[in-house]
Chains A and B, each alone.
Chain A
Amino acid sequence: MTTITRETESLLCARFEAAIPSRVNDDAHLVWRGRHLATRCLIGIGETAFVLRIDAGRIAECRTPPPLMSSCTFAVHGTVDAWEQFWLSPPPPGWHDLFALSKRGEVRFEGDLHPFLSHLQYFKDVLALPRKGGTA
């Protein structure tokens, strides 16, 4: 990894932590939309991993690095380029949606995707929060 990429990754991680969990838990309607959701998932930003514990739509915990031997139900891994472009407002074509990123090989989904797909718009909206003023 180059120095520039490492710096970008650090900035992206700081942006992620500034939005999550506070901007999720402060949004009563977003929490309500996830009221039946309880899961642990991993969000990868480049080489940095965050583990989110979600309980009834609230982000109960957001930790990096993940605790030793922690397990997650599913993971969303994105490259530094993926999150950098995805969080632009507006994001450029082809970089504006998690599945657009997946199709171009910049994001990969792993694990048991049932919690993710049964609450897809919730997760899309949560992961777009670092993009100020944008929509997923």
Chain B
Amino acid sequence: MSRAPIEPIVGRYMRVPILGEACRVYFEEAGQGIPLVCLHTAGADARQFRHLLCDEGITDRFRVLAFDMPWHGKSYPPQGWEDREYRLTTERYVATILAFCEALDLDRPVVMGCSIGGRIVLQLAHAHGERFRALIGLEAADYQAPWYDTDWLHRADVHGGEVCAGLISGLIAPQSPAPHRHETLWQYMQGGPGVFKGDLHFYRADADLRGKLGGIDTRRCPLYLLTGEYDFSCSPEDTVRTAAGIPGAKVTIMREVGHFPMSENPAQFKRYLLPVLEEIAASTPAIAPDARGKDRT
């Protein structure tokens, strides 16, 4: 037995084709029960969800899974990446999420995504709602106005990691604890060259969803939108405007939180997330203890 505390998170790699390309995807998981798939922000990786993965108040009812998208974290880009510019598209993003869920044979998982993950959650609600038990968009909106030129993110005469972190540092609430703030920034300092910029291609150029979210049935697949009051990229007004066009969407504005609730201030985030998860769990038939692991690989 180890003398040091060992966290309950288990990390594994899966080999899964995405848009016809072989990808090796790293994911972490903890807990048992309702599958809860977490999508990290642009230019970051699944470490953002480490606090959630270690929270027994959540993992006692939810099987929490978080994967690094190809190009991010411990998931390599597919072979041949060196010959093309990385640009995330709606098609690639949806294909990645569906491939991950299908590969693990997840039964109508809950998907919770932040920032670009929040944007794609809206697309999932629109086009694939029947596949999911519920959807949670953090810092999510159908569109938000740009606030800097993304060309600065990938150029030879500026350190990509430092400028990425420097830009997003202002999206963290001033009240967020310093260790969590700097851990969040460290993730951005570690991104591959051009990856944050490539993710923002999806955000800014490819996925303007204004006027394209018709037909979302929140009775069949509940949609929750939670946004931090200090997020000036996806502002509370952006989220409220988006929700106004989706009957039944539930909005929560989180105090003293910015654009990265799960990693910048996990304790504050939990106060807002837990009631949402409790509502989802309450609407899900109880899973018998001996069946809890049935979604496991």
Contacts and interface: CB of A to CB of B under 8 A. Distances in A.
Interface of A: 89-91, 93-94, 96-100, 102-104, 113-114, 117-118, 120-121, 124, 134-136
Given A93-B229, A93-B230, A117-B158, A99 B152 contact: no
A96 B21 CA distance: 43
Given A120-B163, A124-B170, A135-B174, A99 B158 contact: no
B166 A121 contact: yes
B175 A90 contact: yes
Interface string B163-193: 1011101110111001001000000000000
B157 A99 contact: no
Nearest to A94: B232
A30 to B, nearest CB: 14
A94 B235 contact: yes
Interface string B139-176: 00000010110001000011100110111011101110
Contacts of B173: 93, 96
A121 B147 CA distance: 17
Contact of A124 (B166, B174, B175): B166
Contact of A96 (B148, B159, B167, B230): B230
Contact of A120 (B162, B181, B235): B162
B152 A117 contact: yes
Interface string B113-124: 000000000000
A136 B152 contact: no
A74 B229 CA distance: 31
B166 A120 contact: yes
Given A93-B230, A124-B169, A99 B147 contact: yes
19 contacts: A89-B174, A90-B175, A93-B229, A93-B232, A94-B232, A97-B170, A99-B167, A99-B232, A100-B232, A103-B145, A113-B152, A114-B158, A117-B163, A118-B157, A118-B159, A121-B165, A124-B166, A124-B170, A134-B174
Contacts of B171: 97
Contacts of A136: 169-170
A94 B159 CA distance: 27
B169 A121 contact: yes
B237 to A, nearest CB: 10
Interface of B: 145, 147-148, 152, 157-159, 162-163, 165-167, 169-171, 173-175, 178, 181, 229-230, 232, 235
B170 A99 contact: yes
A99 B148 CA distance: 8
Q: Which 10 A-B pairs have the closest CB atoms?
A: A97-B170, A120-B166, A100-B232, A90-B174, A121-B166, A103-B147, A93-B229, A118-B158, A93-B230, A117-B152
Nearest to A90: B174
Contacts of B229: 93
A97 B232 contact: yes
Given A97-B232, A113-B152, A117-B158, 15 more contacts: A90-B175, A93-B173, A93-B229, A93-B230, A93-B232, A100-B232, A104-B232, A117-B152, A117-B163, A120-B162, A120-B163, A121-B165, A134-B174, A136-B169, A136-B170
Nearest to B229: A93
A120 B167 contact: yes
B261 to A, nearest CB: 14
Nearest to B144: A103
A134 B169 CA distance: 13
Nearest to B148: A99
A136 B167 CA distance: 11
B162 A121 contact: yes
A89 B181 CA distance: 17
A93 B172 CA distance: 10
A124 B173 CA distance: 15
Given A99-B148, A120-B167, A121-B169, A91 B162 contact: no
B169 to A, nearest CB: 6
Contacts of B178: 135
